[in-house]
Amino acid sequence: MTRFIIRRLGEALIVLAVMSFVVYGLINLMPGDPLDLMIASNPGWTAADITKLRAIYGLDQPMVVRYWHWLTAALQGDFGYSRVFTLPVTRVMGPALLQTTKLMGLAFLCTLLVSLGFGIAASLKPGSRLDRLINFIAFAGISLPVFWLALLLIFVFAVWLGWLPASGMGTIGGGGGFFDSLKYLVLPVITLSLSQIGNLTRFTRASMIETMRMDYIRTARAKGAGPARVVWRHALRNALIPVVTVLALNFGSLFSGALITETMFGQRGMGKMIYDAVLGNDFNLALIGLLFASLLTLVATILADIAYAVLDPRISLS
């Protein structure tokens, strides 16, 4: 198992290295330049000034050389300076990462619990009214566009009922504390979860139905096991095997896909940060942000494989 993890982490690092070069190149291909903002706000500069400025920032050198500078610095822990926010990258990313983690973490947990609950409940009596209701909710979740849902929730709960704040991360002026920030997370978490819940519920339901048809379930009943024991001890772990794999893979995409939600709810998370950085030609920030997203996906894949092997003794990792 340890050898497996080490090998996969090694592979992940190689992927990251390649990705860093590719992303760097792609951002570089985009029109515009980190200096554009400065040039726009300083109309008095001459062409000579601009050339000098480029030389100072090293922007006149070929891309590969610039990439190399970046790489060597990054490997020593210096991720550079964010031009858009005029702060070191780490100082910008820190709070964004924290906010996203809160949002993602809660959304993931919420998705997990609700999907499993719904999926199992629906599978126990296929075709029943409960099953049909759950299926309907699932399809709704899959079909609704995220931004529309966000708007709807804001309208109902913030504007109309006034129960929850419409956007933002905490009460302005600070002093809100932990529970206050939780209030601001409710609507974004629901928005993010709903789209995921649809898919995962149906997947869980299908997997459970398939599992309950297996011969070993019949054996468990023949031994005198009651329905609760049959579901929790015998069926669930088998049914979860494919579900966990999908869950882990979803996790990676949860991260970067939350852009719309973050924007709608004014959450200054990683999604918004990367978006702003790319549009602003902020090489350093965009690069680090995107690489982080890739890293998360890679780690999620590794975790999926491990989870799969842990749950199913027939799979060996060698």
Partner 1 sequence: MGLAVNPLATPSVAAATTPLLVVEDLSIEFPTERGVLRAVRGISYEIAAGRTLGVVGESGCGKSMTALAVMGLVPSHGAVGGHIRFMGTDLAGLGEAAYRRLRGSRIAMIFQEPMTALNPVIPVGDQIGEVMQLHQGLSRTAARKEAVRLLDDVGIPSPAARAADYPHQLSGGMRQRAVIAMALAGDPALLIADEPTTALDVTIQAQILELMLELQDRTGMAIQFISHNLGVVSELADEIIVMYAGRVVERATAADLFATPLHPYTRGLIATLPDLTRREVRLPTIPGGVPDPVGGMAGCRFADRCPRADAGCRVAIPPLETLATGHSVACFKAAA
| CA-angle at 158, arms to 157 and 163, nearest 5° | 70
* Helix runs in 125-235, H state only: 129-143, 146-153, 177-212, 215-222, 227-229
CB of 130 to partner 1, least distance (A): 16
Distance between CA 199 and CA 144 in Å, rounded? Answer: 12
214 binding partner 1? (CB under 8 A): yes
Residue closer to partner 1, measured from CB, 68 or 216: 216
Residue closer to partner 1, measured from CB, 27 or 235: 235
Phi, psi torsion values for 81, nearest 5 degrees: -120, 135
Single residue of 3, 222, 228, 318 touching partner 1 by CB under 8 A: 222
Binding residues for partner 1, how many (CB under 8 A)?
21
237 binding partner 1? (CB under 8 A): yes
CB of 156 to partner 1, least distance (A): 41
Distance between CA 119 and CA 129 in Å, rounded? Answer: 14
Residue closer to partner 1, measured from CB, 51 or 219: 219
CB of 282 to partner 1, least distance (A): 49
Distance between CA 288 and CA 81 in Å, rounded? Answer: 11
Please give the structure tokens belonging to residue 77: 């822990």
Distance between CA 43 and CA 167 in Å, rounded? Answer: 37
CB of 118 to partner 1, least distance (A): 23
38 binding partner 1? (CB under 8 A): no
Query: Residue numbers of the site for partner 1 (CB under 8 A)?
Result: 214-216, 218-226, 229, 233-234, 237-238, 311-314
